Amino acid sequence: MPNFVYGTTTIDYELEYSSDKQDVSIAIEWLNGVKVTVPDHIDEHQLQVILHKKAPWILNKWNAINE
């Protein structure tokens, strides 16, 4: 399972590529965790930049779900 580090927190996520997608979507679910769906044209560097930008939102949603 891929992950990225934001500050001192490691965030694991499920990664899915989709040729139908135009942009990155991030879903946070209690049972499945973080799922990231990306279009085929997004490379690893671009994905990491997006995930770091969205990390505060991801952590807030994850903490809210787990309360």
The percentage of residues in the chain with a pLDDT greater than 70, rounded to a whole number, is 100
Mean pLDDT of 20-30: 94
Per-residue pLDDT, 14: 97
Per-residue pLDDT, 28: 96
Tell me how crowded residue 21 is: count the other CB atoms within 10 A of its CB. 15
pLDDT at 1 over 90: no
Quick one: DSSP state of residue 45? H
Per-residue pLDDT, 42: 93
pLDDT at 66 over 90: no
Domain range for 31: 3-65
Summary mean pLDDT of the chain: 94
Q: Tell me, what amino acid is at 43? A: D
**What's the structural domain count of the chain?**
1
Q: Tell me, what amino acid is at 67? A: E
